[in-house]
Amino acid sequence: MDILANLGLGLSVALSGTNLLYCFVGVVLGTFLGVIPGVGVLAAISMLFPLTYFLEPTTALIMLAGIWYGTSYGGSTASILLNVPGTPANAVTCLDGYPMAQKGRAAMALFMTTVASFVGGSIGIVLLSAFAPLIAGAALAFGSAEYFALMVLGLIAATGIVGDDPLKGLIMVVVGLLLGLVGTDVFSGTARFTLGYLELRDGIALVALAMGLFGVSEVIASVGRIRPGRFDASTIRIRAMVPTRDEMRRSWMPMLRGSGVGAFFGALPGTGPSLAAFIAYAVEKRAAREPERFGKGAIEGVMAPESANNSADQTSFIPTLALGIPGSPTMALMLGVLIIHGIAPGPGLMTNEPALFWGLIMSFWIGNILLVLLNVPLIGLWVRLLTIPYPLLFPAVLMFICIGTYSVNNSAFDVMVVMVFGALGYLFRLLSFPPAPLLLGFVLGPLLEEHFRRAMLLSRGDPMTFVERPISSVLLGIAALILIWTLFNAIRRTRPQQTL
């Protein structure tokens, strides 16, 4: 079969010395940044993004992807030991993980979350390698109208399902789309919204925007708030990791169900691992025979979300690699790597760049195995990281952000852009506007405009083309349904408050 040849090719790419090294670097950095609260995945990836200019695109993606799923492994550590999620995707793990730590079962919980992460990740990888080629095959027939419809669906899904305030999410998408239009118009060559700055002719730098919005605003919000954790590090020993027979028995089904839930929500554009973990926890609580154990240290409540977020980490590559449409801001950065190296993302990627595609997928296996090796014997080391005081950490984070941005184009202007978006990002935080939809809109903005204008040119100015073409009309129909559903829910939620 084809697939075996592809997997073989992928394995040979992933096992080459350089790729193996950077896969290792990625997962180590990912675990490191995941363990420390206050440095999210996006901040981590945008901080290291400039390094990828110096690497082959395959190697660069392998490293960034390693950071991406590595943080999900590391993130549960702080959730369990300190009741502070290392990353948003590990927030639910606190609910039962921290009570487990209080009962003295922290080591076992840390071990079992590593197992759950590995199982979830593996199931996600299998589904990714099975479905991505199928979807890419179907998408080869897509024209501009279909691409436009698909991106609209992704943007609506991003605002609707994730945030608790869909209206604010939509506003952020529109702001992002507008920011994405800054620069030279590809059709006419007109410079738009450049405020007279020559530096803005190529558009706002993605890295500068992402670092300001996520990295800097996170630092501002965390300074003076995050204090080093207090816990008994001596309880984290390998001998204390062994689960009892009963704990093992309880873990299997939640782990499998969690992986399934995670895989599904990871593959949908606009959702992602945080939501997947929440839903997996909710499903488990509903399926449980004794739901009252949840929140008091039930192992099911740790296994399900931890397998779900890792499974979602992997399947979120499906829309990204098969369609060239990023389902999350992190995936937008991954696509940015491809674009910078001159590789067009889209359904043709798999056939044009099989070594990149399959190499990346096989590196996920290797990365997941490395993560188990890193997390089980070395857990004591990671745990010590939690005792580093934040005042020592954040100047280093800021330094990496500044040097990283500067070195992309040797541009001091871009560093100022980081500052501007840092301030904006903090403002959005205060007003509780979610920043992730903005980044998604920013990345998709130019693509969306291009496909919209091309489709309209082809239809001679008739907007009905989006409804008349079957695939496009189905996609837009789903988008409309999601929009109506989320707005309806939002209105229903506001009503009761009004009567108070």
Contact residues: other proteins, CB under 8 A: 51, 54, 167-168, 170-171, 174-175, 177-178, 181, 185, 187-188, 190, 192-193, 216, 219-221, 223-224, 391-392, 394-396, 398-399, 401-403, 406-407, 410, 412-413, 415-416, 418-419, 422-423, 426, 430-432, 449, 452-453, 456-457, 460-463, 494-495, 497-498, 500
Residue 225 or 286 with smaller CB distance to other proteins = 225
Cβ atoms of residues 272 and 263 within 8 Å:
no
Work out how close the CB of 430 gets to other proteins at its nearest, in angstroms, rounded to a whole number: 4
Nearest distance in Å: CB 418, other proteins: 6
Q: Shortest gap between Cβ of 451 and other proteins (angstroms)?
A: 11
Nearer to other proteins, 17 or 461 (CB): 461
Residue closer to other proteins, measured from CB, 489 or 494:
494
Nearer to other proteins, 194 or 473 (CB): 194
Please check whether residue 152 is in contact with residue 475, taking contact to mean a CB–CB distance below 8 angstroms: yes
CA distance 33 to 441: 26
Minimum separation from the CB atom of position 212 to other proteins (A): 9
Instruction: Give the residue among 151, 193, 190 at the shortest CA–CA distance from 173.
Output: 151
Q: Closest separation between CB of residue 254 and other proteins, Å?
A: 36
Nearest approach in angstroms of CB 222 to other proteins is 8
Comparing CB distances to other proteins, the nearer of 319 and 445 is: 445
- The letter for the amino acid at 289 is R
CB nearer to other proteins: pick between 65 and 418: 418
- Smallest gap from Cβ 486 to other proteins, in A, equals 13
Nearest-approach distance from CB 408 to other proteins, in angstroms? 10
Q: How far is the CB of 41 from other proteins (least distance, A)?
A: 20
Closest CA to 400 of 43, 54, 67, 32: 43
Instruction: Return the axis-axis angle of helices 412-430 and 390-409, rounded to nearest 10°.
Output: 130
By beta-carbon proximity to other proteins, the closer residue of 54 and 292 is 54
Dihedrals phi, psi of 192, to nearest 5 degrees: -110, 140
For residues 202 and 232, which CB has a smaller minimum distance to other proteins in the complex?
202
- The nearer residue to other proteins, 234 or 499, going by C-beta atoms, is 499
Specify the residue, 349 or 424, whose C-beta has the smaller distance to other proteins.
424
Of 39, 93, 420, give the one whose Cα is nearest residue 221: 39
Q: Tell me the torsion sign for CA atoms 248, 251, 253, 258.
A: negative
Three-state SS at 185: coil
Neighbouring CB atoms inside 10 A of 24's CB total 17
Contact 307, 260 (CB under 8 A): no
Of 428, 443, 403, which Cα lies nearest the Cα of 209?
Answer: 443
Q: Are residues 63 and 26 in contact, defined by beta-carbon separation less than 8 angstroms?
A: yes
In whole angstroms, what is the distance from residue 490 CA to residue 330 CA? 27
As a whole number of angstroms, the distance between CA 139 and CA 288 comes to 40
Give the Cα separation of 168 and 160 in Å (integer): 10
Distance in Å, CB of 195 to other proteins, minimum: 10
Q: Tell me how far apart the alpha carbons of residues 223 and 38 are, in angstroms, rounded to a whole number.
A: 9
